[in-house]
Each structure stands twice: as structure tokens, then as C-alpha cells.
Structure 1
């Protein structure tokens, strides 16, 4: 059930809350949420409901929902699973528009739980009630103190007076708590704390869509195990990107879809992990590697607005060794350390007695103690050449405290992101630096990892916008899907693909050995012969491919192939043989399209032939893919050096490959919902100017039952 942003207002920003199953025991789930509301200062109306009490936590307690003086914005159901449905009906009758279901025992347990969750979904659809969960820890608007979660964490780490700007959305309650604690220990301030639970009625992307329009949220940090509606997620990510709100996600459960790998090499390569990573990169989503990385990225997002964040970094350190280590860490993230000019180096040598390293990193040494404002002079020299997007400063202890005012002054006069690594120092100094727009990290590894990820996010923004526009244009064009005949064989697939510009070679279809011999006499050079059947996806595995045949060997080979394949796959329909001239080129690639259960049509491009699955040298994209994206996919491959001409081999016709990739995308988009898999394997790439040719093609539709 879809939940538009305005429909989530009573869920995420309630002014009145009922706690059904409220308790005086603050260790029970019905007591924890009530205690949070009372103790942390929620200014709205609170209605505990429990017939055992007249008063709870300073609030009047009501015996039942029907006794409430009004319909609150949301009801929290701290009840056993068997009591949930009847209570939801009573809440709906009262006019309560939203509810949070803590109870477990739904789809996550299987069996009867699946039926219970289906009943919950049907109720929500019938009534329009917005239901959070089930099987969730609840929510918290930390700025208004509307805390409807039973997570005890807020007792140890309560929201403070400074408004939070980062919102948390997780599919795990414990992960939501862990990320919150990690962030709070770093001095971060959070706005929303959202645990989605089973997402029976309101799913992960619905919350993202709401936060895209939430004026108080500047960044979103989340934990996701799996998305349900890729199209909805794509749209939410687009809205967040347009609002310039970083979406930072930690993805777990990235196992490959081994059970679904049956028909094509593409399916073997396009696993869950690979597709999610490609989708996140393509959509402009920052993907965190671990919980601390997630928190660091959310922390860094606070300082990005209004600053120039690029790949050029200048490092200034009070330790030469630490400067060198930091340089290594930054380089490993793909960041650049431009060398300072001779003039700047000489100026540093003149300014700092005994300075050792002046090219970048710069070793400022303990000489910064020697006179006032020397740090300002050094840092301004580093920024004067305009070769840096990021100024990264390492300092510790008393020196860190001493130069803090100078760092603040320098940061105020540059659009560079000034960042500090401080292994020690007072919280007050850190807070002063942060208030001046300077992020402070506790070690170089964390700073480098966060900066590298953030820079890649900034650099990928234009590409994300390009793809978004391309996808929108394809959606707007719409049009009827191409009518597909059932059970296409390789020759029919190739003929279909030529309509979209996919290059295929000359070939003849023959029914028997006699026709094969006659066709061989008309063709010059060695020939390739393949079995022609809509039921056989992998011809080589059943003896259905012969290469480098001379004309006089074609007849005997044809008789042998027809007999052996018929014996190997007795149920397959054999439509004859496909005879084509042998082709030679620089290398072979695979271009494949599969239908991902979350994101829909996705493309895989990589090293082709029988080595595809062995080397796993592939690039992935969500469709549609145009020529620009096709070239980017090729450049991601380790094998791209082969296309450029490697060790004396001729350069490949990259332009022809780019066009072929874009043509396959166009074909797949036109084929519509019937398409399951489309694969060119291999695409033979010829020398520059000579083109490329699809040597084999496979198309699987929803009606096909191919035999491996």
C-alpha cells in the first residue's frame, strides 16, 4: 500500500499520541514509550490506555479507545499479536488515522504469520489507516520529542537542545539504535528515528519520499536488507538528489542469487549484491561499508553544503609520518594529492624553520609553536594556488588546541572543505570547529574513507541526473511493447535484434546435412555450425557447436551434430542448423540484460566467451543505457586495456561496441514485460573501424522453458 508524503505526517510528526497497553513498569514496551514521552518533554497530548490505571506517568489514563476525548494522530499498539486486528478496528471506528504495531509473529515467522500480515494489509487498504510495522520498535521525532519507540537507548542518549538534521531509516530496530548511539558519541544530532519493521503497509521508500520534502532533514542515513519496489525507490532517490539531501545506505544480506542462476551467463553475473551496488551508484546513493562508515558519512554531510568538495586534497600535518600514512589512505580512495608549485614550496621553507616536507603532504612540524599565526600563514599558502578542493589538517593535543582559532579563520575565507584529524583534544574545541563548518575526525582512516565516498557522490551527481532524465524520457514515450513470437531460436532472435541496430553477421539456416553441404559451397573460408533450437540455451554443453569447419567437413559434421544433440536432449525441438562464416577480432564481450526482481531490467557488460564467469570482469547498469553510459561501462572493465590495444594487438572498434550496447538496451526496453533475459555472448569486437558482430544471441521470455 502506497503512502504519499502528506499521509505520513500524523505518523512522523504527531501532536497527539495514544499508548494502548500502557504500563507503569518502565521496563516493559508499554511503559518505555510512555516514559520517553513524559520524561523527555513531548509537548503534545498523550493518552495512555489501560483499564488497570487511573493515571500513568502524570497523564490521565483511559480504560479503552472509545473513552478518549478525541481521536489522536496515532495509536501505539503495545499488545500481543492476537489482539492487534480487533484493536485496529476499534481505532478506525474512533477515527484514529495511523497506528504503530510493535507485535511480532507476522510474515517474518512464515506459516500463519503470512496470513496475519495479509489480513493487516487488507485492513489498511480498506480503511486507509497508515500502519507502521508490524514487528518494529517504533519511531521518534527527536526534535518534537514525539517518541513512539520502546528503544531504551533514549534514556542514555536523550535528544538534546540542538535540532537534529540527520534522519535515520532502518529495516532493523537494533541497527537503528546502534547507528544512533554511534552518531551521538560523535556529537551528531538526529531528527527522525524510523524503524520500518515488516513494512506491510508503509515501506522503506515511502519514508524516504517523505523525508525528501521534510524541511528539517538535510541528510538520511539508513540500513536496508532488501527493497520491495525498485521503481518507488528510484523516484525517492531522485527527489532526495534534487533536494540536495545525501542518501547514505548500509546494505546487508548481499548474497548472490545462486538459486536463480540457470539459463544464462548474465544471470550468473548479475547477482543481488552487484545489482544493488550498481543501482546505488547510478542513483547517486552513498553506500557505506560498515556502521561507523555510515555514521561518518552522515556526520560529514552536515558540512558539505556551500563547500567545494572535489578529489584534490592538500594535507598539512604536524607529523611527517602521519602525513605520509594519510596520503596513502587518501590515494587508496582514489583522491589526488597535487604537488605544490616551487614558489609555494619555497615560501613554506622560508616561513617554517626546519620544515621537512613541502610538496604535499606538508610537514608543519612542532615549529608552529614558534610564533603566533604561523599556522594561518602556512595554510593560506597551501590554499593560495587553488589546487585543493579539500584541506586536511592533522594535529594533536595542545597544538590542536592552539591552532583551532586559526583553522576557523582560514575556513571562513575559502570554499574549500577544511577538515581536521585530531586524535586528542577537548570537546569544546571540537564543538567550536564544527560550529565554524569544520568536520573533525578521530583518525586518518575514517576521514579518508568518508571523504573518498563523499567525493565520489559529488562527482557522480551529473551522471545520476543524466540517467534520471533518460529514464523519465523513456517512461514518457511509453508505447506498446513489441509483439514477440513464442519460442524464438537464435536466428530469429538475431533477426529481431537487427531492427534495433544490433550488428549480426551473415548466416544461413539449413534443415539437414544435404542443405548444409550446399550452403557450405556458397560460403568462403572456415565455417561455424550450431544447433538451432528454442529449447537449448547452452549449445556447447550438448555438443551443439562446431568451429573452423572446411566445406568438405560440413556434411558429416551436420549429421553427427543432429544425431548427438537429439540423443543428449531428447525433448528439445530441433529446427535444423545455423551455418555462418568464422569471424576474427580483437576480443569478445558479453552484453546481457536480465529482469531483476527489484529494479527491473538491468544490463551486464563484460569479458565474453567461456571465461565470463571465471574472471567476473563486468559492469552493471539499470536500463535504459545510452552511448555515454555504455562507454563508462567499458571503461570500468579491467579488460578495457585490451580494447585500447594491448601488447602489440590492434585497438578495437570501441565506437561500434558503444553503439551495440546502446542498441541492446533499446531492444530490451522495446520488448517490454515479456522479456526475462536477453544475451549477446559473445559480441566479437573487430579492429578499429571494422565494427563488431553478435556471434550468438539468446532471448528468454515469460513463456519460454529453455533446456540448459
Structure 2
């Protein structure tokens, strides 16, 4: 196979998850050694494909016929697992290519994680693989797991126990950290979560975390994708991968570490990738519907909900429990996290009453009482009524203890779920813990703690309820030539002053941002004439390329209602500017706007991801209590609306405390127009601040101040 027939990323991911035949190059007869574990695990978990150990010193390895070289193999395996030391890896990769093997996993360390010499060795390895036509997972990784065939092409000791049999619910897990990935995979399987597809990307010489996400999203058998991420080398491919998952309807939850300055430095040292500005990841995840996990438990909880069959389609829940106190607890938590617990009307309460004892609560939450312990059909009948209820999107069942009844109740719930078009979620506190195992195979997410369950349900259900259309599919073509990896250095090429306020707003008016009526003048007499043309009241400001923040220095006079007030303000500004040694002392006279709401709209540049669009509450709130949202162009209407809806103090835009509401439709169009302009012109500017963009008494929006800083660095 030549480099011209190099397999695609999708083909390589298929090989890593669905391989029907595997060769282990360097396989040891000692199954306790790292080089012997892969074969032992394949036999332990019942791999359904063919296995070909390669060991020139033995006729058999762990009971299987051994081959002296790759060339001697009786067929071309789908996957090679190279368990040799780094010094022998390149020759093994060449042998794979010569035999037609297109995908290989490399466990060996001693590459880029070891510094400059290791980095050169990794480059040589990649060059060898390219020449041989072989795609690589690793090096310095712990391997791959493919549940569909019980493939365990790995050497991690997390597979070395008897607690699970490798369940596969179609949930995939990708990790840049081998150890953390192994820990999380083991935890998932030990708690009956069917994370049956696992890829450890290691040093990412070839296949990256982005490639893994995109390839898994393309796999029709993938139900959800979880991930542990330290840093992204190629932001464009990462966006493309998230876009593809969103377009295909494959939910994604990622645990992104490196939030703190020290954490980011640790991530860079460990993986050679920059962690990136954390707020950018938050924005990116919101934009592509990715759930951000705050802990390992949270990541796995999200995985349970995302892989449920069917998935939640809204945020309205009906609660069925055998404890009134539990119902109150869950209702409180549901309201805190944004889930609705609609109170049932008389008709549906009466229908529920026919299935329950006379003293049961029937309005939601439903209290079936302790009679369930002696007659579990009461529970399933109540759950059936909840599933039929038109204002219920998900049924949440909370039980506890009842070890003797566990199997019968789980069987009944599984039969009910198999006939339902709505999801059932079970919380079982206490007992043996077996309900998770009994119910997971039926697509019923099962938890042992109610608060965690409702937090995870809310994250997924609220996303579904918002009905967010996929962001415009990101192919990476928009900026492929201009974006460099985030670890490229940025060198200042010149020192360029910010544009003055008038020039800034002239530029922004071209971007579709409405600007305040204003005139630039040179002196007090000119200011009086401008004020007469505009009409009182007016604002008088210093206009100077030397001063960016004028109000801090007393260069802004507002609410001026007479020609004399305008003249006095203009003279005072000129005198103060001269006293401070400011040479550029022009004046700008603006129409006074009846401010009802203040926003900030702007652009910034990230070293890796390029241009960012910012929307937030403006004025003094910007500095005192920042409330902003970031998104990455290109934006669609749903992205702009999501930015507005996600503002903590967004009620101020909707007429809170007697204010006039902002025209939200107009605001959405301004954000979209500005975003389109940014997408085309961002390389020319370091930053843009429109602060404030104000809403007046009629809800109209207008920019009254702006600061545009031309680019002083090469485009990232």
C-alpha cells in the first residue's frame, strides 16, 4: 500500500472499533507483562475475530500459533497492535504497510512527551507511517476497545478484573490521557454504563482527539460520545468534528481540563498541546450543543442520559415514588435545575387515582406509597399512566432498598420501557446496586442518587427543549489557509493606535451596526453649531486617537440642553486635554439617547480558534460584574438568540424594573450582521468594543461609543 492509498480517518476509526482480525506484533507469552496483556484480554473478553501473534522466538503464544513476521500472516488483519519498544516500532510499521495493514496502535513511549529528541523521533515515526500507508493511534497511548466484537486492543490494567463483561450501549469514550481514560472506562463499566468504544489518543502523532470524535460520529452504531480533553492542537478540525456530531444528532459530553493557569501549564507539559483560553471552550461547547462535564461522575451521568432509549425530548417530568418526602426533594431539585414538574389536572389525577390506594398523592409528584413493596404492579401501572400523560416528556421513578423485589420490579420496568416512546429514568437508593446492571441493557438510565440524576437529565432535556438547530456545519474551509496551530508564536509586527471613536463607528456602520447621530468639530463654536443641527439634548466628548477611555478622564459631558452648556463643555474638555499634554484635541457632539439598557458587542482574537464574537451587558457592569457570552463565527440566528438567552442579567433587556424592552429581533440581526463582517475582516483587527450599544425608550438599538484596535500581530 502506498501513501496515495492512505486510509481515511473514518476507515481507521472503523478498524479501531470494529476490527474483525488483529495481529499483535511482539506479543509475549507472559500474559502479565504489558506486551502480553493485549492477547490475554482478547481471550478473556471473548473477542469474536481472528488473532495472530507475531513473535519470532516462539511457535505458540498464550496457546495460539505464533508467526515469525508480519509477512508470514495468513491474511491481512484489519488492525495491528505494536507492543514493541520504540527502537523497533518503525520497522514494524513498515512491515504492516508492506503486508497491506492500514491501521496500527503503538503503545511505546519515548516520543514527543520526552522533549526535542523525542519530538524528532515522533516526526520520523509519522513520516514512516505516511510512506507505508498506515494510520497510527498513539504513540504513548493505552490502546482501543471495540465493544461490537469484544475487541480489547489495549494493555491497561483496568481490564484486569472480574466486575464487568464489557457492556456496549453504543457509548464511545475518547481520552487524551491514557491513565485517566483507563480509570473512567473502568468506572463506567463497573457501574453498568455501556461505554463499549474507547480510544486513547496518546501523543496524537496521527489520529487526534478531533479525528476520533468525527470518526465515531460517522459510525452509525455510536449513540453518544464522551471525552477527556487536555488541549487541542488543531482548532479547525475540532470544530469540524463537533459540527459533524451535531449534524448527525450524536450527543457529546466533554470533560475539558486545564481551566486554571497552573492546570493549563500542566496540560501543555503533559501532552504538548495548549489548553487554550477556557472561556473559548465554553463558547464553543454551547455553540455546538456539547455538554461540559465538571467531574468524572458528571461525565458518566450525562452519558447515561444521552444514551437512553429514547432520549428526552423536553424538560417536563412526572415523578413516581414510594415516598412523599422523596417527591418533595426531587421537585425542589427539578425546579432549581430548570426541569418542570407540571401539576396534573383533575382528569389525569382521576385516572391516576384508579391505579393507586385512596391515600396516595396523584397530582405529580405521584406517591404510590409503600404498597409497592407487596404489589409492584402498582408502580408499573402508575408509570404507564405517566407515560400516557400528554404534558410529560420523561418519567422519573425513585425507589429504595427492596432487595427481594429488585429483579421483579426491574423486569416489569424494562418491559414497560420497551413499549414506550418516552424515556424512563430510575433512581434506586440503597439495595444491592443490581438495578443499574438489570436496567442498563434496556436503555433505562439508572442512578443511586436523585440530585445527580436530575442535574444530568436537566442538562440534556433543556438542550433538547431549546430545539437548537445545528450550527452551520463547519468544514474548516473558511480559514484553512490563515489559521495556525495554537502553539505557534505570535510576533508583534507594528504598534498601531486605536481608531478614534468616530472612525470606529464609521467602520461599524459598514458592519450593519446602527450608530448614534454625531458630528466631529474642532472647537467650541463648531460644537454649538453641531448641537443645533442634531437637536438638544446632546453629549459632548473629546475625540482623540490618543485617548481610548474618555469618561475615566472627565472628557464626557452628557445631558447638555443649551448652546452655552455646549460651549462650556467644549472649552473645559479642550483645556483639560491641553493640561494633560494631549495633542489631538478634537470634539465630537452626539445625540443624547434615552438609555434603557446597555450592551457590549465586540470581537477578540484567540491564538488558536481565531475570531470570537462577544455579547454582554455593557456600561459599568462590564467591568464590575462581567456578564458576557462568546461564540465563534460563523453564527446562525439560533446562536445569536442563545447568546441573549444565556446572559445572567438578560431580564434587563426585557423590560425589568420598569425599563423599556429591547427589540430582540433587531439585536439578533445586529449580532448576525456584525458576525458576518468579523468573519470576513477579523485579520485586520486585534479587538473591537462597541460599548455601550444602548436600547432607547422605543427599544431601538444604537452604538454610542466604540473602540477599534487595528491588528498589531500576525493573524493567529
Query: Which TM-score tier does this pair reach, normalised by the shorter chain?
Result: 0.7 to 0.9
Q: Following the alignment from structure 1 to structure 2, what is the Cα–Cα distance between the partners of residues 221 and 189?
A: 12
Residue aligning to 2:202: 197
Q: Is the 8 A contact 1:38 1:57 kept in 2?
A: no
TM-score normalised to the size of structure 1?
A: 0.83
1:501 aligns with 2:512: yes
Match of 1:207 among 206, 212, 216: 212
Residue aligning to 1:147: 152
Q: Which moved more, 1:650-659 or 1:692-701?
A: 650-659
Count of paired positions: 672
Q: Following the alignment from structure 1 to structure 2, what is the Cα–Cα distance between the partners of residues 257 and 153?
A: 29
Deviations 1:473-525 (A, max 9, x none): 9969x9xxxxxx98661333322221232112244455xxxx33342232325
Residue aligning to 2:484: none
Secondary structure in structure 2 of the residue aligned to 1:697: strand
Match of 1:186 among 188, 191, 198: 191
* Cα separation, partners in 2 of 1:8 and 1:413, compared to 1, 3 Å: closer
Q: Is the 8 A contact 1:17 1:47 kept in 2?
A: yes
Q: Which moved more, 1:84-93 or 1:94-103?
A: 84-93
Residue aligning to 1:263: none
Q: Is the 8 A contact 1:166 1:219 kept in 2?
A: yes
Deviations 1:398-417 (A, max 9, x none): 56556555545554554232
Residue aligning to 1:528: 540
Query: What is the Cα deviation at residue 319 of structure 1?
Result: 0.9
Match of 1:420 among 420, 426, 441: 426
Q: How does 1:180-259 map to 2 (within 5 A)?
A: 180-255=185-260
Query: What is the Cα deviation at residue 449 of structure 1?
Result: 2.1
Match of 2:105 among 100, 107, 116: 100
Q: How does 1:109-188 map to 2 (within 5 A)?
A: 109-157=114-162, 160=165, 164-188=169-193
* Cα separation, partners in 2 of 1:551 and 1:111, compared to 1, 3 Å: farther
Query: What is the Cα deviation at residue 30 of structure 1?
Result: 1.4
Q: Which moved more, 1:315-324 or 1:421-430?
A: 421-430
1:33 aligns with 2:28: no
Residue aligning to 2:454: 448
Q: Is the 8 A contact 1:308 1:415 kept in 2?
A: no
* Cα separation, partners in 2 of 1:582 and 1:107, compared to 1, 3 Å: farther
1:557 aligns with 2:573: yes
Residue aligning to 1:264: none
Residue aligning to 1:642: 652
Match of 2:523 among 502, 516, 519: 516
Which runs of no fewer than 5 residues in structure 2 stay unpaired?
1-5, 266-274, 482-494, 532-536, 559-564
Q: Is the 8 A contact 2:80 2:101 kept in 1?
A: yes
TM-score normalised to the size of structure 2?
A: 0.83
Match of 1:275 among 274, 280, 292: 280
Which runs of no fewer than 5 residues in structure 1 stay unpaired?
261-269, 479-484, 567-573
Q: Which moved more, 1:543-552 or 1:174-183?
A: 543-552
Q: How does 1:502-651 map to 2 (within 5 A)?
A: 502-509=513-520, 515-524=522-531, 527-533=539-545, 543=553, 545-548=555-558, 550-555=566-571, 557-558=573-574, 560-561=576-577, 564=580, 577=586, 579-581=588-590, 583-584=592-593, 585-651=595-661
* Cα separation, partners in 2 of 1:212 and 1:159, compared to 1, 3 Å: farther
Match of 1:318 among 298, 318, 322: 322
* Cα separation, partners in 2 of 1:520 and 1:231, compared to 1, 3 Å: same
* Cα separation, partners in 2 of 1:622 and 1:373, compared to 1, 3 Å: same
Q: Following the alignment from structure 2 to structure 1, what is the Cα–Cα distance between the partners of residues 441 and 129?
A: 45
Q: Which moved more, 1:344-353 or 1:613-622?
A: 344-353
Q: Is the 8 A contact 1:400 1:422 kept in 2?
A: no
Residue aligning to 2:503: 492
Residue aligning to 2:693: 683
* Cα separation, partners in 2 of 1:163 and 1:495, compared to 1, 3 Å: closer
Q: Which moved more, 1:687-696 or 1:167-176?
A: 687-696
